[in-house]
Amino acid sequence: MQTIASRTLTLTVSDAELAADLLLPDDAIGLVVFAHGSGSSRFSPRNRQVADYFNELGLATLLFDLLTEQEERVDRLSAEYRFDIPRLSQRLAGVLDWLAGNTELGALPIGLFGASTGAAAALIAAAQRPQAVHAVVCRGGRSDLAGAALPKVAAPTLQIVGGQDPQVLRLNREVSQQLQCEQQLAVVPGATHLFEEPDALEQVALLAGDWFCRHLRANHGRHAG
């Protein structure tokens, strides 16, 4: 049975200190960093459920808040930060830099799991830190908001969209035409944007877990070396 250490961390980036929760299995094969979507936080039950499944596969997970407590209070009233993609992607890139300097976690190959607007932040950060990011998964992602960064993404990228989420599905198909990396678009039949239908989120976890295990395991020894 997998032994998993749980810790609360403070990640210091250029313009903020961000609260984070780390779950670290013994002999982890990689680390998945979550970038949550608009109006969400590291306490998102959906992301927690997916993270638990990743931990069972031997993947460490880092869930952190892209916004400070003060920014979250403002955003709850005005929603002014949740679509600030440059700010969100800068924070995520800062977290990647923090991880690179951490003696314990820096040896693990990293994957990014982005939901909604967090998917755009994940893709931009992957384009900005190509040596650090080895796989990306977008769940119901507004990947289109990554804009000019899309052709620069080198990490293998999986987009997962609900079959009953027509606008995001259309946007993700357009993104597929712009990505130059190894990529796949997976459609979960009958699922809407938040994958709230029975078994829908489990399908997301299975698809994403397979993608991360395949690509992070392939880079594990290479990255550590």
End-to-end, the C-alpha distance of the chain in Å comes to 27
Is residue 151 packed enough to be buried (19+ CB in 10 Å), middle (13-18) or exposed (0-12)?
Answer: exposed
> What is the domain count for the chain?
1
Other C-beta atoms closer than 10 Å to the C-beta of 5 total: 11
| The pairing of beta strand 59-64 with beta strand 30-35 | parallel
pLDDT of residue 75: 79
Tell me the per-residue pLDDT of 160-217, one tens digit each, with 9 for 90 and over.
999 999 999 999 999 999 999 999 999 999 999 999 999 999 999 999 999 999 999 9
Q: Which residues contact 25 (CB under 8 A, 6 or more apart)?
A: 2, 3, 4, 5, 55, 58, 59, 60
pLDDT of residue 98: 95
pLDDT of residue 224: 45
Closest CA relative to residue 115, chosen from 208, 15, 178:
208
Output the pTM of the full model: 0.93
* Phi, psi angle pair for 75, to nearest 5°: -65, -35
Within 133-197, strands assigned E span 133-139, 157-162, 183-188
Which domain CATH number covers 80?
A: 3.40.50.1820
> Cα–Cα distances in Å, from 152 out to 18, 35, 139, 216?
27, 19, 20, 20
Range of the domain at 93: 4-224
Closest CA relative to residue 81, chosen from 139, 34, 138, 36:
36
Ranges of residues in the chain whose predicted pLDDT is under 70:
1, 38-40, 220-225
| The pairing of beta strand 133-139 with beta strand 157-162 | parallel
Count of alpha carbons within 13 Å of 29, Cβ hemisphere only? 19
Tell me the per-residue pLDDT of 181-190, one tens digit each, with 9 for 90 and over.
999 999 999 9
**DSSP class of residue 89?**
H
